[in-house]
Amino acid sequence: MSRVMALDVGTKTIGVAMTDPLGLMAHPLQTLSRQGVRKDTDALVRLGKERGVVEVVVGLPLELDGTEARSARLARQIGEAVSEAVDWPVHYVDERYTSVDAERHLIRADVSRRRRKEVIDQVAAVLILESWLRMRG
Protein backbone atom coordinates (compact mmCIF):
# COMPACT_ATOMS: atom_id res chain seq x y z
CA MET A 1 0.00 0.00 0.00
CA SER A 2 1.28 3.41 -0.89
CA ARG A 3 0.19 6.92 -0.13
CA VAL A 4 0.64 10.07 -2.13
CA MET A 5 0.99 13.42 -0.37
CA ALA A 6 -0.09 16.67 -2.03
CA LEU A 7 1.06 20.16 -1.14
CA ASP A 8 -0.53 23.55 -1.67
CA VAL A 9 2.48 25.78 -1.00
CA GLY A 10 1.81 29.39 -0.05
CA THR A 11 3.95 32.15 1.39
CA LYS A 12 2.55 31.68 4.91
CA THR A 13 1.21 28.12 4.97
CA ILE A 14 1.40 24.73 3.26
CA GLY A 15 -1.83 22.81 2.89
CA VAL A 16 -1.27 19.05 3.04
CA ALA A 17 -3.54 16.31 1.72
CA MET A 18 -2.96 12.60 1.40
CA THR A 19 -4.45 9.60 -0.32
CA ASP A 20 -5.92 6.67 1.53
CA PRO A 21 -3.61 3.64 1.95
CA LEU A 22 -4.74 2.27 -1.44
CA GLY A 23 -3.80 5.52 -3.16
CA LEU A 24 -7.32 6.05 -4.52
CA MET A 25 -8.95 8.92 -2.62
CA ALA A 26 -7.67 12.28 -1.41
CA HIS A 27 -8.25 13.52 2.14
CA PRO A 28 -7.25 16.78 3.87
CA LEU A 29 -4.54 16.29 6.48
CA GLN A 30 -3.30 19.55 7.96
CA THR A 31 -2.00 23.05 7.37
CA LEU A 32 1.60 23.80 8.26
CA SER A 33 2.75 27.32 9.11
CA ARG A 34 5.77 28.20 6.96
CA GLN A 35 9.06 28.35 8.87
CA GLY A 36 11.62 28.38 6.08
CA VAL A 37 12.45 25.83 3.40
CA ARG A 38 14.64 23.62 5.60
CA LYS A 39 12.20 23.39 8.53
CA ASP A 40 9.23 23.03 6.17
CA THR A 41 10.99 20.21 4.33
CA ASP A 42 11.87 18.44 7.59
CA ALA A 43 8.25 18.65 8.76
CA LEU A 44 6.90 17.37 5.42
CA VAL A 45 9.39 14.49 5.28
CA ARG A 46 8.59 13.50 8.86
CA LEU A 47 4.85 13.64 8.12
CA GLY A 48 5.31 11.58 4.95
CA LYS A 49 7.46 8.93 6.58
CA GLU A 50 4.98 8.53 9.45
CA ARG A 51 2.22 7.82 6.94
CA GLY A 52 4.02 5.70 4.35
CA VAL A 53 4.22 8.26 1.54
CA VAL A 54 5.90 7.12 -1.68
CA GLU A 55 5.17 10.08 -3.98
CA VAL A 56 4.52 13.81 -3.64
CA VAL A 57 2.37 16.11 -5.76
CA VAL A 58 3.05 19.84 -5.58
CA GLY A 59 0.62 22.41 -6.92
CA LEU A 60 2.20 25.02 -9.17
CA PRO A 61 0.31 28.32 -9.14
CA LEU A 62 1.08 29.28 -12.72
CA GLU A 63 0.22 32.67 -14.16
CA LEU A 64 -2.70 32.95 -16.58
CA ASP A 65 -0.26 32.76 -19.51
CA GLY A 66 1.28 29.56 -18.09
CA THR A 67 4.53 31.11 -16.88
CA GLU A 68 6.03 30.55 -13.45
CA ALA A 69 6.22 33.60 -11.20
CA ARG A 70 7.41 33.90 -7.60
CA SER A 71 4.70 31.68 -6.10
CA ALA A 72 5.40 28.83 -8.53
CA ARG A 73 9.13 29.09 -7.92
CA LEU A 74 8.49 28.87 -4.18
CA ALA A 75 6.36 25.74 -4.65
CA ARG A 76 9.01 24.20 -6.90
CA GLN A 77 11.68 25.02 -4.29
CA ILE A 78 9.76 23.03 -1.66
CA GLY A 79 9.21 20.14 -4.08
CA GLU A 80 12.90 20.00 -4.96
CA ALA A 81 13.93 20.16 -1.30
CA VAL A 82 11.63 17.25 -0.44
CA SER A 83 12.94 15.29 -3.42
CA GLU A 84 16.52 15.84 -2.30
CA ALA A 85 15.73 14.84 1.29
CA VAL A 86 14.02 11.54 0.45
CA ASP A 87 13.73 9.26 -2.54
CA TRP A 88 10.12 10.11 -3.42
CA PRO A 89 9.18 11.13 -6.94
CA VAL A 90 7.77 14.67 -6.99
CA HIS A 91 5.12 15.62 -9.55
CA TYR A 92 3.96 19.14 -10.33
CA VAL A 93 0.36 20.01 -11.21
CA ASP A 94 -1.04 23.27 -12.53
CA GLU A 95 -3.16 24.57 -9.66
CA ARG A 96 -4.36 27.88 -11.07
CA TYR A 97 -7.80 28.21 -9.48
CA THR A 98 -7.68 25.58 -6.74
CA SER A 99 -7.95 28.16 -3.95
CA VAL A 100 -11.00 29.70 -5.62
CA ASP A 101 -12.52 26.24 -6.11
CA ALA A 102 -11.70 25.31 -2.52
CA GLU A 103 -13.43 28.46 -1.27
CA ARG A 104 -16.53 27.61 -3.34
CA HIS A 105 -16.62 24.05 -1.98
CA LEU A 106 -16.42 25.32 1.59
CA ILE A 107 -19.08 27.98 1.08
CA ARG A 108 -21.43 25.40 -0.47
CA ALA A 109 -20.81 23.19 2.56
CA ASP A 110 -21.83 26.15 4.77
CA VAL A 111 -18.46 26.29 6.53
CA SER A 112 -18.03 29.44 8.61
CA ARG A 113 -15.64 32.13 7.40
CA ARG A 114 -13.32 31.50 10.36
CA ARG A 115 -13.23 27.73 9.75
CA ARG A 116 -12.73 28.25 5.98
CA LYS A 117 -9.59 30.24 6.72
CA GLU A 118 -8.26 27.33 8.81
CA VAL A 119 -8.86 24.60 6.22
CA ILE A 120 -8.80 26.24 2.79
CA ASP A 121 -5.18 25.26 2.10
CA GLN A 122 -5.93 21.62 2.95
CA VAL A 123 -8.95 21.62 0.65
CA ALA A 124 -6.83 23.17 -2.12
CA ALA A 125 -4.27 20.37 -1.57
CA VAL A 126 -7.10 17.82 -1.89
CA LEU A 127 -8.14 19.39 -5.21
CA ILE A 128 -4.53 19.29 -6.43
CA LEU A 129 -4.27 15.63 -5.46
CA GLU A 130 -7.60 14.73 -7.06
CA SER A 131 -6.48 16.44 -10.27
CA TRP A 132 -3.27 14.42 -10.30
CA LEU A 133 -5.12 11.17 -9.55
CA ARG A 134 -7.46 11.82 -12.51
CA MET A 135 -4.52 12.58 -14.84
CA ARG A 136 -2.76 9.42 -13.70
CA GLY A 137 -5.82 7.42 -14.63
Q: What is the pLDDT of residues 63-94, one digit of tens each?
A: 888 788 888 999 999 999 999 999 899 999 98
- Residue 1: what pLDDT? 55
Mean pLDDT of 25-39: 95
Give percent of the chain above pLDDT 90.
58
Extended strands (E) in 13-73: 13-19, 26-33, 53-60
- Residue 32: what pLDDT? 96
- Residue 54: what pLDDT? 94
- The H or E element spanning position 91 is strand 90-94
In this prediction, residue 12 has a pLDDT band, given cuts at 50, 70 and 90, of: very high
Mean pLDDT of 42-59: 96
Give percent of the chain above pLDDT 70.
92
How would you classify residue 109: left for phi > 0, otherwise alpha for psi between -120 and 50, otherwise beta?
A: alpha
- Residue 125: what pLDDT? 93
Domains contained in the chain, CATH given: 3-136 (3.30.420.140)
Q: Distance of alpha carbon 102 from its chain centroid, rounded?
A: 12
